[in-house]
Amino acid sequence: MQDDRTLIQSWQSQSLGSTIETAEEMLRRVKALDRRRRRATVDSYVVVALVFTCLFTLAAASRDHFMRAGALLALGGFGYVTYVLRRGRPDEGGEPEPSIRVYTAELQRQLGFARHGVWAALAAIVPGATLFSAGLAREYPQAAVLVYLQVAILVAVAAAIGLHSRRKVRALRGELAELQQLEAVVPNAHLG
Amino acid sequence: MSRDELYCQIAREFGPPLERLARAYEADPGLRADLLQEIQLGLWRSVSTFRNQCSLRTWVYRVAHNIALSHVARRQRQNPSAMLRLDDVEPLPATLDVAAEYVREELLTRLRRLMERLPPLDRQVLSLYLEGMTAEEISEISGISPANVATRIHRAKKFLAGAVRKEGEHARR
């Protein structure tokens, strides 16, 4: 019993070298962190809205049929990508309590996107963007070289994203395997 | 009680224990600060979902341990290292013969090293035991039976017994 107390006292009185904060200071800090994380989500919505507006304006203002069709196709493709990225998020319908099951579900969603979604997203955006560029080159022949150079860069970036997703798939699979082992041995891993 | 008030209560009651919990799961100070931040953020974001179905203490520890376990899984993938079962560890030899404070530090160092090498469930049980919880409370948080908890604690205590005895002798001198 004496041994137990000594052990517990030693553990509980250890110095961790951290700065002592009051509960109110901790609350302020965690709220600021939460705001920063949420702001990133809001920023992404703003980017989506701007891209949609831009593509819609281009589609409406273009005289060339290729440009108009390309802008509309890219608009559809971008909408599809936005949907795929949002689909099946574990926090849909409220903030879930953190648990290994919730974290696993989020990783599985990311894995699904990295395995199939990336290529589908590229397939949805690249044709529209290419068609639009072809129309742009037809409309402004003096800038054609620049436009085709942009298309080449777009294709190269798309290929790089595709290749990166394969590495991401390997990393996510490794982490999921670790989590599944944990879920198997920690009975309350699913509870928050 | 509002969300802010409940979070402040958690921060007041469980601030230092949560720091020790993070210490049990992460040795690197920088990564430990990140882990602690994730735990605090996880608690803040989900505190409104606490429904009094268990005690606040059980809920806080369960959420914190599960965030820490996810952290361990990520770290284990990035930097795989062999884990050590409590069954396989030899009891510490009681051969230290220096000042009591040094022995206490030595005990803590060994305890931390042991924690770092334990599989997640043993780590969870041992860190909760060191927070002074009973086998029943640990069972409620971890989900394993009280008898299983008691067995794991017994193994951990056997491992640490030598160093603790030596510290007791120094304290009496």
Bigger pLDDT: A126 vs B76:
A126
B102 has a pLDDT exceeding 60? yes
Report the candidate in B92, B103, B72, B82 with the shortest Cα–Cα distance to residue B156.
Answer: B92
What integer pLDDT is reported at residue A191 of this predicted model? 58
Q: What is the pLDDT of residues B27-38, one digit of tens each?
A: 888 888 899 999
Q: What is the mean pLDDT of residues B20-47?
A: 89
Q: Given its phi and psi angles, is residue B120 left (phi above 0), alpha (psi -120 to 50 degrees) or beta? A: alpha
* Residue of B69, B126, B158 to mutate, interface with A, max A Cβ within 10 Å: B69
What integer pLDDT is reported at residue B82 of this predicted model? 58
Option in B76, B107, B141 nearest A10 (CB): B107
**What is the interface pTM, i.e. ipTM, of the complex?**
0.72
Q: Do B111 and A185 touch (CB under 8 A)?
A: no
Min Cα distance A30 → chain B (Å) is: 6
Tens digit of pLDDT per residue, chain A (192 long)? Answer: 446 677 788 888 877 666 667 888 889 999 999 888 888 878 888 888 898 888 778 778 878 888 888 888 888 888 888 888 777 665 555 566 677 777 888 888 888 888 887 888 888 888 888 888 888 888 888 888 988 898 889 888 888 888 888 888 888 888 888 777 777 666 666 555
Q: Do A26 and B40 touch (CB under 8 A)?
A: yes
Q: Do B11 and A14 touch (CB under 8 A)?
A: no
- Tell me the helix, strand and coil percentages in chain B, rounded to 5: 75, 0, 25
Min Cα distance A109 → chain B (Å) is: 16
Task: List the structure tokens of A187.
Answer: 């009975």
